[in-house]
């Protein structure tokens, strides 16, 4: 099977979603968000609260979208072309193949990784058979949420956000925020991957302190991590070895919780290549998907869904060559209960960024 490559998955091409050179950055109030009609909206998952998304496509197979369902303790599997439900993985429990409050989810190679908040671990499934293989992180993780991955010479680096309670050991909380992100090394030198804990990191205080963390993404080209802080409604920039760069962005622009976040390669109308950061500004009545220039961190504008899309947690980008996408697709959770899918060419046209 041929999985979606890490560059296409994590730094997915966003086609011409960046305006031609010379277009000024959009202010928060000067430009209304573009309303983009979705391609499909999945059936609702009753009694659930879905969160994060991951796309996988094997050679000759239809692409699948994996969706974590927190209170149902399952992973829902959708056909990424049609939005139809394919099956459900797991049930509530502690054993392999079972979940407790699954949250972040990612695909690396031919493996599916599921972060479980209440089992304090990351569970690994083989693809395409979706069989549980092993788990890791149970000794290090307290209250894990998000996941980011980046390719290395020996395998992968995996970063897990850990939003443990702050306080003191006497109040069942950690004393400070210096372990907000846990770094693991995934090594593929043997027949089966081996995972080892590298270190925990996070500034204790100051502008680099990670107060309330969930979403995280790795920028392989820049060798950076973009970590959303829901308390300050901003994105903090760390290096891959866990050092705060002194830079943050989105401050004063993001109005709600910054949730799903991706880094996307882009191609300008003049043929030059750049990149953007896209994140979901999780509004209760409407989510705005904010677009920032990766290099300057300027806010370039925003788009939303039509019909309205709201309460968005996870987002994902991936190549779906089948009609009606016939190119890159953008997936986003709607109102904790279903998923919307968009063709990126529609986003480009509605934002007016291909002129």
| Residue 1 belongs to a domain | no
pLDDT score recorded for residue 354: 60
**What does pTM read for this prediction?**
0.90
Q: How many domains in the chain?
A: 1
Q: 1 vs 77, 131, 238, CA distance in Å?
A: 18, 15, 34
| Residue 119 belongs to a domain | yes
pLDDT score recorded for residue 353: 57
> Average per-residue pLDDT in the chain?
88
Q: Using one digit for the tens of pLDDT, what is the confidence trace for 304-342?
A: 999 999 999 999 998 899 889 988 889 999 999 999 999
pLDDT score recorded for residue 205: 92
Give me the average pLDDT of each 10-residue run along the chain (355 residues): 41 37 41 91 89 89 94 96 96 97 96 97 96 97 97 95 86 85 92 93 95 96 96 97 97 96 76 82 95 91 95 93 88 96 84 63
Domain holding 12: CATH number? Answer: 2.120.10.30
Per the CB < 8 A criterion, the answer to whether 5 and 149 are in contact is: no
pLDDT score recorded for residue 267: 62
Q: Provide the residue range defining the domain that includes 33.
A: 6-351
pLDDT score recorded for residue 326: 84
């Amino acid at each position: 099977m041929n999985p979606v490559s890490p560059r296409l998955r994590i730094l997915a091409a966003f086609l011409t979603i960046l305006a031609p050179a010379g277009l000024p950055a959009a202010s928060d109030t000067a430009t209304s968000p573009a309303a983009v009609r979705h391609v499909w909206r999945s059936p609702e998952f009753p009694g659930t609260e879905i969160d994060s998304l991951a796309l996988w496509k094997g050679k000759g197979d239809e692409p699948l979208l994996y969706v974590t369902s927190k209170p149902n303790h399952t992973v829902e599997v959708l056909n990424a072309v049609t939005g139809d439900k394919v099956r459900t993985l797991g049930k509530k429990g502690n054993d392999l193949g079972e979940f407790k409050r699954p949250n972040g989810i990612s695909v690396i190679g031919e493996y599916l990784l599921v972060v479980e908040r209440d089992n304090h671990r990351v569970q690994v499934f083989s693809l395409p058979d979706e069989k549980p293989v092993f788990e890791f992180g149970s000794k290090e993780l307290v209250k894990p949420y998000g996941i980011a991955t980046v390719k290395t010479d020996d395998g992968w680096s995996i970063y897990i956000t850990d939003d443990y309670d702050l306080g003191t050991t006497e109040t069942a909380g950690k004393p400070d925020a210096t372990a907000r992100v846990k770094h693991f090394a995934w090594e593929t030198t043997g027949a089966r991957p081996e995972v080892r804990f590298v270190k925990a990191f996070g500034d204790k205080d100051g502008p680099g302190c990670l107060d309330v963390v969930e979403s995280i993404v790795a920028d392989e080209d820049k060798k950076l991590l973009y970590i959303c802080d829901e308390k300050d409604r901003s994105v903090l920039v760390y290096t891959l070895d866990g050092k705060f760069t002194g830079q943050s962005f989105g401050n004063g622009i993001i109005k709600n919780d910054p949730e799903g976040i991706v880094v996307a390669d882009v191609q300008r109308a003049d043929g030059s290549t750049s990149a953007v950061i896209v994140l979901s500004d999780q509004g209760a009545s409407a989510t705005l998907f904010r677009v920032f220039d990766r290099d300057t961190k300027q806010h370039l504008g925003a788009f939303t869904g039509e019909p309205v899309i709201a309460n968005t947690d996870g987002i994902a980008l991936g190549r779906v060559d089948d009609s009606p996408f016939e190119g890159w697709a953008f997936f986003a959770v709607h109102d904790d209960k279903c998923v919307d899918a968009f063709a990126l060419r529609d986003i480009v046209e509605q934002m007016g960024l291909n002129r």
